């Protein structure tokens, strides 16, 4: 079901991982950001758009994680954009003959057979340095940064005061670091870029979880930064997404944290830096 969250901006929520597909209304149709994630949910999304008479004129993948680079035949053949680095990562993945079984093996078992992969990752790269999505709708500013995944980008819809954050600023997921040489510093850079763009933002849409509004935009930035600082400094984060206060059904987020804490500790112990 589509839910309006701001003027000209709607969200379609998936069930298992609470993925938010973002729908932005334009002059000739809509732009879809990170549509997902099961065949039934994507079909539902396409049917909802059809009922409103909204053709899909463009798509955008905020980053190359499997659940953010999906597509469905019912959504049509509109161009699907991503940053140049995001597209390169996906092109490299798709160049392997066994990419599909490798990807499928890493899907949550509950939906492994229900996630359509035939159109996965077919992203048109935007030239490096591009700051606007080329489409007929309202201006969407691209905010690329190194946090979380290669070529990750948030989108700022200044007209409606909406920040589409990709896999950041979630109320259910902690910051998840990329497997880079400087993952903590990369994440802090990403948060600074989102913070720089937050003036005038009234609504933040994370890749997973609840839509935030008002002061919650800054609160989520501060919360994510506090988590990353605690991880860097070897402290136990005081974070409502972790421990006994974790949302029911999302206790596995604690496992992600433990893995990240161990990785940072190993890096320090090996004489490297945590960020």
pLDDT tens digits, 120-136: 999 999 999 999 999 99
Mean pLDDT of 226-240: 96
3-class SS at 53? coil
Q: What is the CATH number of domain 1-130?
A: 3.60.15.10
54-73: per-residue pLDDT in tens?
999 999 999 999 999 999 99
Q: pLDDT grade, residue 269 (50/70/90)?
A: confident
Q: pLDDT grade, residue 273 (50/70/90)?
A: low
The terminus-to-terminus CA distance of the chain in angstroms comes to: 40
103-114: per-residue pLDDT in tens?
999 999 999 999
* Closest residue by Cα to residue 103 from 54, 95, 19: 95
Residue 252 has what pLDDT? 94
CATH 3.60.15.10 domain residues, the chain: 1-130
For residue 138, is pLDDT > 80?
yes
4-29: per-residue pLDDT in tens?
999 999 999 999 999 999 999 999 99
Q: Which residues contact 207 (CB under 8 A, 6 or more apart)?
A: 19, 20, 34, 62, 67, 68, 165, 166, 167, 168, 170
Residue 123 has what pLDDT? 98
The Cα–Cα gap between 259 and 262 comes to: 5
């Amino acid at each position: 079901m589509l839910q309006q969250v701001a003027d000209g901006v709607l969200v379609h929520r998936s069930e298992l991982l609470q993925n938010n597909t973002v729908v932005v209304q334009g002059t000739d149709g809509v732009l879809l950001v990170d549509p997902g994630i099961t065949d039934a949910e994507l079909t539902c999304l396409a049917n909802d758009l059809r009922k409103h008479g909204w053709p899909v004129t463009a798509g955008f993948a905020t980053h190359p994680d499997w659940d953010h680079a999906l597509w469905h035949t019912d959504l049509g053949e509109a161009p699907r954009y991503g940053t140049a680095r995001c597209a390169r990562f996906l092109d490299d993945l798709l160049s392997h003959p066994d990419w599909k079984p490798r990807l499928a093996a890493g899907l949550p078992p509950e939906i492994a057979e229900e996630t359509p992969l035939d159109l996965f990752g077919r992203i048109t790269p935007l030239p490096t340095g591009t700051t606007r999505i080329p489409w007929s709708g309202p201006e969407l500013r691209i905010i690329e940064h190194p946090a979380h995944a290669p070529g990750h980008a948030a989108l700022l819809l200044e007209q409606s005061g909406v920040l589409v954050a990709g896999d950041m600023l979630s109320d259910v997921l902690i910051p998840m670091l990329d497997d880079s040489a400087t993952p903590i510093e990369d994440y802090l850079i990403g948060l600074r870029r989102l913070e720089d763009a937050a003036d005038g933002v009234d609504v933040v849409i994370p890749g997973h979880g609840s839509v935030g509004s008002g002061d919650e935009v800054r609160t989520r930035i501060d919360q994510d930064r506090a988590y990353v600082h605690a991880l860097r400094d070897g402290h136990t984060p005081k974070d409502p997404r972790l421990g006994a206060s974790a949302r029911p059904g999302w206790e596995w987020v604690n496992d992600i944290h433990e893995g990240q804490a161990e990785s940072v500790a190993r890096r320090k112990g090996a004489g490297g830096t945590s960020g």
